Structure 1
Amino acid sequence: MTAAPATPSAAAPSAAASNTTIRPPRPKPSATSSGAESDTAPAPARRGARQAPPDPLSARATSLLIRRTLCPQQQRGGDKARDAQARPIDELLPPLTSRNDVDLELYAFLAIILREFVQSWYGKITTDEAFVAEIVHTVAHCTRALEQRCRKVDLESLVMDEIPDLLDRHVSAYRASRRPIAASPVQIDARQVYHSLCPLPPLSPVPRAGDEDSMAEQQRNEAAYRQLLVQAVLALLLPTEDLENPCLTSLVGQIFSEIIIGNAAANKAAQPWLIWEGICILARVVQERKEKKDKVSRRLVGRSPAEDVDKASRRWSVHGFFLSIINLCILFVTSIRLLAGAVAASSSLPPRLPSSPDTKGTSTTQSKPKIPSGSNTHVAPMPAPILEFRIWSCAGNLLELTTRMPWLSGFLSLVQHAAINGPARLGRLDGPIDRFLSYHIRSLVSPAHLPPLLRTLRGALFPNNAPGQPTLSPPTSHAELLALRRRAASALWRLLPKTISTLYLGGGLGLTSLRRTAACDDAEEEEERMVDEVEGLLMVFSDEYCNKHLLYSVLELVLVRLMPELSEKGVEALWDERLG
């Protein structure tokens, strides 16, 4: 019996189709099953999920930026490149400071500056990559030398005494220049008066509105002054072999003088709008933290926000007056307990002047030399107790404490004198209060606070790690500038408690304040008047030219404290001493 010949059947095509890539079409889902399928089917199968853009300030983005710009030879293929990419950045680049977290932020700044202002034109000339490495090593020499000098500087006196002294002079000179003695027909240039009270030769001649020649000459003198400052610093910090390279020193000098000091500091930090924007940002951060603490306290006590509003809106009463007296007594007792605890704990704190224990019992009022207000010399002052630092008088001058509340200013001066020169002398140099305050000030100026500060500064100056439209844009008109100053004043006023703001900004204690408060029935009118008072206090930073005086004075003071040779020799003498 012979087998029948193979004939095509229905099973044959299906078997053949199973071996091919052709698949039957997917049946369309019905209306009843479409919802179930859409719930079970994952969305990425139909369309890719949109990913959020990476944060340019993150550690990974910062590391990639540094490797692409400062380590270009490690980005090429090969086993050595893969090995270099696996190594940390601190092993590939020379250290800038003694802290790796600070070095990472400084490397990011350096990478952005070199990529945008050096490699943009140097890469068109040659493909040599050794020049960037030489710049990095030169900058590393400068930063390491500056760090060694910073350890020998009394940062407490610099930050709390000498810089506030310059700010105090700035405030006094600005207000004196805006309050001339001459009558209205006589016109006096306020900038000329300020420049006479706080002379700074690099900022002369005083630029006048409409006079382009004076503006151009002043800008040339300012640029030459920045170049001299940087050249003097390089002569002290760089090794001799780097100083003998004029191309390298010129380029590094341009980076420091024009990009860092001129562009970032003088042309931005001296702008009034940037100062007021910074005040608004700080006030907003403090207000948010304050609101969080209030929410937590209300949650613990079980009080609603409406009860706080009702409590704040209560009028004066005898019961409330006695409660205020009791609260003041409790505050006074608590302050005494804190002071006693600080005095008891100060014995275990390290001494402020370990190298000179003989100054513990000396008279502090005679150990601090007085520098004339018109003098440009930077004589290093003798150590003084923290209670005698100029930051306290500067704060009083900035807030107009002597004019608004002379009784409070006199009382605080009496307490200060009693603490320093009284029978117990608790506030003397290296005394209990002096050690306690010194310990907390050193914790505030700790290098651990530098990395987040540098990261925030990089995000504000270089958004997306590139120079572009900054996050803080300047106002386009004078009306916007006035509105910004108004917002800054309002933000500061909201931070103050209502009682303190009414007491201080309302004119202090007395019949005049009570009559004025009673006459202002409208709360909004009283609020606007107090905001006007705060805005008047902020007027001391409303002139860019005057702010530059303060900025360059602070810069020169810091450089002289770090490098005392700058006050003894000129730039040419320093270079001749190094190069012969």
Structure 2
Amino acid sequence: MTSDFHRPGLHPLSHLKAGPTISSSKSTARPASSTAQPSLQTSSRSRLSKYNSSHDGNIDTFSDKATTTLIRRVLCPQANSSLSLEELLPPLTSSNDVDHQLYALIAIIVKEFVYSWYSKITSDQIFVNELLQVIAHCTRALEQRLRQTDVSQLVLDEIPALIEAHISSYRFAKQQSTLSGLPTSTRTIFHALNPHPGLSPIPDPAHPQSIAEQCENESSYRRLLMYGTLAVLLPTEDLENSCLRTLLVDILADLILGKEVSGKICERWFLWETIAKLVEVSQQDPRHDDKSKSQGQPEDRLRKFGLLSTEEEDCDVSYMSQSRISMWIWSVLQYAYVTFLVLRFIATGLFRVASQPQPTTSRVTKTYPPSATASPVNQRPVLDFRLFSMVSELLAVPQRMPWLGGLLALFQHLVLAGPGRLGDADSTLDRFLYETIQDYVLTPALLPHLLLASRTALFPVNVPAPQGAEPDRAVQLPLSMRTPTSSAAEGGKANITNKGYANTSSAESAGPSAPEIAAIRRHCAVNILALIPRPVARRLFGVVHNSSNNSNHRTIWIDDNDQINSHESGPTAGGSDADREHGAEEDEDAVFVAAIENELLDMLEDEYCNKHLVYSIIETVLVRLVPELGERSVGELLEDRGVCFSNV
């Protein structure tokens, strides 16, 4: 990289601290901004919508005040309450918002995996303080390495390439498993296509010995991975401390990677629910959120008692008060205005980038620290990122519409390698696309939200109770964490203990039942369908639609019996013809949802295959941040630091 065209992994914008990152307990940081997630507005006619409403009502639990209370109660219970967290705890990164979310995650881990046995020995905080100092040293080292990494290429090119390989391998394995007269296991074919030392041998329920051997190999793989990472990041004196080294490896390898990542994140229901939450967040209306924040609780009370009209009623009134011609005119004007804004944004950005100095050398992804044996990752143009091919493979565009896949491939080739090479690396178009990604997609404010989402997903019921809540107040569990018994009794609630934390022993011990998993899958499919325009869905899934009325407003939901329903509002809604068309639209929605469940979400059906994907992503990220792992063995890394590999 050159100074003229620097593409760091993190931007030193206003979101970052003003002072440098040092190993002290004080920081010159400004107060962290709020990272509270806005609540979602959902329909009250659906059981899943009711779940969303009750769950989103507890979003205030994860506000800055509740998070600060959690951090103080666990990490510094004996400290002066008048001091801020920046004065009590060592800085983890150069961002206050990231530190806030990281310390909340560390507080839960310490409470669950350290205090569970350490509090029985002593009540002092010396050991926890030393542990925080070690973690702070590792996180600051990772941040320095992250700044030398092309995060955009990692997130939009390398990780999508792994997902694309997983999709193609799983589809091929599932197809080949049924070809011969003696069916072969899908896991066997998938593992042959994507071999992994930590996932061998293939676990077979008919042979319990294979399951035990695979679990042992996976545990050894996780520990080696963590030993190699700590051998690079830990200070020498801490690495030579066998007690501290063993404790950190146990927490990271067995409790975090083993229990949470391998035991929960790889589950199909967890991945489906995560996708559904991401889709719901993307569908939020910022204007509605700002309005709700400005008006506060009165609007919620008015809407609770039915004194405010819903969005569907507003749509009904607007459609009834407008003729079809006026609606068509306003639609044309709206599309024209949006097109003008997009073209102006592109033209302004291209002129701005073209006026900047041209980089003298080609951009590459650097390695940290610089090494003679390290091989830098060559730069790929933005238009050649594997994200586009991953989406094409996920939607099976080459099989469904080969003409569209060929046309898009031809257009990509002409832009990248055609006359003028307009989209080649470091060209004006490539730099404009890259800057747009950095400014609007991978922003510095994205990481705190990802950490918050990770904390709420991995520990959904292990959160501080809302301010002013009684000790016996219950917190609504996510649908995926409800047990069959708790689902039947008051929707699956976990009681709050006297310390203000939800009791997770019974909820986390048993996963969701089969009907609940089916409901999660259906919920995810419905949310995905809401993102796809209806004409695109018809052509993508090959559904013929004979109706001439396309101007009606439609809403899809799931009733209490897990049946797909839809509501239509518009000029022709009602009447016998409209009723028949309404029934046809419901059948069409059912076809779409079934296609999404069986063709898109089916890629995450098998937990064992999902482990291949998750571990490959973890390996890729670690090798980019700690390239020493790809150059030398774990034993060599430890011996270079003066630690005998046989003693670990």
| TM-score calculated relative to the size of structure 2 | 0.67
Could you tell me which residue of structure 1 aligns to residue 454 of structure 2? 457
Report how far residue 441 of structure 1 moved.
1.6
Instruction: Indicate how the Cα distance of structure 1 residues 242 and 98 shifts in structure 2: closer, same or farther if over 3 A, else same.
Output: same
Instruction: Verify the 8 A CA contact 2:177 2:184 in the aligned structure 1.
Output: no
Q: Secondary structure at the match of 1:465?
A: coil
Q: Which consecutive unaligned segments of at least 5 residues does structure 1 have?
A: 1-51, 76-83, 361-366, 369-377, 508-512
| Pairing 1:280–2:276 present | yes
Could you tell me which residue of structure 2 aligns to residue 502 of structure 1? 538
Q: Secondary structure at the match of 2:90?
A: coil
Could you tell me which residue of structure 1 aligns to residue 202 of structure 2? 206
Could you tell me which residue of structure 1 aligns to residue 611 of structure 2? 548
| Pairing 1:573–2:646 present | no
Instruction: Indicate how the Cα distance of structure 1 residues 338 and 402 shifts in structure 2: closer, same or farther if over 3 A, else same.
Output: farther
1:123, 1:212 → 2: CA distance? 37
| Pairing 1:65–2:70 present | yes
Structure 1 residues 34-113: aligned runs within 5 Å: 55-72=60-77, 74-75=78-79, 84-113=80-109
Instruction: Verify the 8 A CA contact 1:205 1:217 in the aligned structure 2.
Output: yes
| Pairing 1:528–2:590 present | yes
Instruction: Verify the 8 A CA contact 2:156 2:385 in the aligned structure 1.
Output: yes
More deviation, 463-472/498-507: 463-472
2:204, 2:91 → 1: CA distance? 46
| Pairing 1:249–2:245 present | yes
Report how far residue 433 of structure 1 moved.
1.6
| Pairing 1:114–2:114 present | no
Report how far residue 308 of structure 1 moved.
6.9
Q: Which of 296, 304, 315 in structure 2 is aligned with 1:305?
A: 315
Instruction: Verify the 8 A CA contact 1:203 1:221 in the aligned structure 2.
Output: yes
Q: Which of 189, 195, 202 in structure 1 is aligned with 2:191?
A: 195
- Superposed CA deviations along residues 52-92 of structure 1, whole A, max 9, x for unmatched, are 999543333333332333224x44xxxxxxxx432222222
Report how far residue 226 of structure 1 moved.
0.9
- Superposed CA deviations along residues 192-216 of structure 1, whole A, max 9, x for unmatched, are 1000001111011111234322222
2:187, 2:148 → 1: CA distance? 37
- Superposed CA deviations along residues 368-419 of structure 1, whole A, max 9, x for unmatched, are 9xxxxxxxxx965310111011111111001111111222212211221122
Instruction: Verify the 8 A CA contact 1:506 1:530 in the aligned structure 2.
Output: no
Structure 1 residues 310-459: aligned runs within 5 Å: 339-348=346-355, 357-359=360-362, 380-443=376-439, 444-459=441-456
| Counterpart residue identity of residue 203, structure 2 | P
Q: Which of 128, 139, 143 in structure 2 is aligned with 1:132?
A: 128
Instruction: Indicate how the Cα distance of structure 1 residues 290 and 55 shifts in structure 2: closer, same or farther if over 3 A, else same.
Output: closer
1:554, 1:568 → 2: CA distance? 18
Q: Which of 511, 519, 522 in structure 2 is aligned with 1:486?
A: 522
Report how far residue 556 of structure 1 moved.
0.5
2:125, 2:329 → 1: CA distance? 77
Instruction: Indicate how the Cα distance of structure 1 residues 327 and 574 shifts in structure 2: closer, same or farther if over 3 A, else same.
Output: same
Instruction: Verify the 8 A CA contact 2:93 2:140 in the aligned structure 1.
Output: yes
Report how far residue 342 of structure 1 moved.
3.6
Instruction: Verify the 8 A CA contact 1:112 1:466 in the aligned structure 2.
Output: no
Report how far residue 172 of structure 1 moved.
0.4
- Superposed CA deviations along residues 222-266 of structure 1, whole A, max 9, x for unmatched, are 111111111111110111111111101111111111222222222
Report how far residue 330 of structure 1 moved.
9.3
Q: Secondary structure at the match of 1:574?
A: helix
Report how far residue 309 of structure 1 moved.
5.9
- Identity %, equivalent residues: 41
| Counterpart residue identity of residue 473, structure 1 | M
- Superposed CA deviations along residues 338-384 of structure 1, whole A, max 9, x for unmatched, are 54444223225687xx5xx2338xxxxxx99xxxxxxxxx9653101
| TM-score calculated relative to the size of structure 1 | 0.74
1:203, 1:498 → 2: CA distance? 41
Q: Which consecutive unaligned segments of at least 5 residues does structure 2 have?
A: 1-56, 292-308, 366-373, 466-474, 483-510, 549-580, 644-648
1:108, 1:114 → 2: CA distance? 10
Could you tell me which residue of structure 2 aligns to residue 558 of structure 1? 621
Instruction: Verify the 8 A CA contact 1:150 1:562 in the aligned structure 2.
Output: yes
Q: Secondary structure at the match of 2:423?
A: coil
Instruction: Verify the 8 A CA contact 1:66 1:108 in the aligned structure 2.
Output: yes
Instruction: Indicate how the Cα distance of structure 1 residues 476 and 103 shifts in structure 2: closer, same or farther if over 3 A, else same.
Output: closer
| Counterpart residue identity of residue 444, structure 2 | P
| Counterpart residue identity of residue 257, structure 1 | A
Instruction: Indicate how the Cα distance of structure 1 residues 418 and 338 shifts in structure 2: closer, same or farther if over 3 A, else same.
Output: farther
Report how far residue 532 of structure 1 moved.
2.1
Could you tell me which residue of structure 1 aligns to residue 574 of structure 2? none
2:587, 2:106 → 1: CA distance? 51
Could you tell me which residue of structure 2 aligns to residue 375 of structure 1? none
Report how far residue 546 of structure 1 moved.
0.8
Instruction: Indicate how the Cα distance of structure 1 residues 265 and 466 shifts in structure 2: closer, same or farther if over 3 A, else same.
Output: farther
More deviation, 251-260/336-345: 336-345
Q: Secondary structure at the match of 1:579?
A: coil
Instruction: Indicate how the Cα distance of structure 1 residues 323 and 405 shifts in structure 2: closer, same or farther if over 3 A, else same.
Output: farther
Q: Secondary structure at the match of 1:164?
A: helix
Report how far residue 220 of structure 1 moved.
1.3
| Pairing 1:185–2:192 present | no
1:222, 1:313 → 2: CA distance? 64
Q: Which of 455, 473, 479 in structure 1 is aligned with 2:481?
A: 473
For the pair shown, which has the larger CA radius of gyration, 1 or 2? 1
Instruction: Verify the 8 A CA contact 1:232 1:571 in the aligned structure 2.
Output: yes
Report how far residue 462 of structure 1 moved.
4.6
Instruction: Verify the 8 A CA contact 1:342 1:432 in the aligned structure 2.
Output: no
More deviation, 546-555/421-430: 421-430
Instruction: Indicate how the Cα distance of structure 1 residues 423 and 172 shifts in structure 2: closer, same or farther if over 3 A, else same.
Output: same
2:58, 2:532 → 1: CA distance? 39
| Counterpart residue identity of residue 459, structure 1 | T
Instruction: Verify the 8 A CA contact 1:54 1:61 in the aligned structure 2.
Output: no
Report how far residue 284 of structure 1 moved.
3.1
Q: Secondary structure at the match of 1:86?
A: coil
| Counterpart residue identity of residue 524, structure 1 | E
2:60, 2:350 → 1: CA distance? 47
Report how far residue 516 of structure 1 moved.
13
Instruction: Indicate how the Cα distance of structure 1 residues 311 and 410 shifts in structure 2: closer, same or farther if over 3 A, else same.
Output: farther
Q: Secondary structure at the match of 1:358?
A: coil
1:530, 1:432 → 2: CA distance? 40
1:359, 1:386 → 2: CA distance? 14
Instruction: Indicate how the Cα distance of structure 1 residues 283 and 313 shifts in structure 2: closer, same or farther if over 3 A, else same.
Output: farther
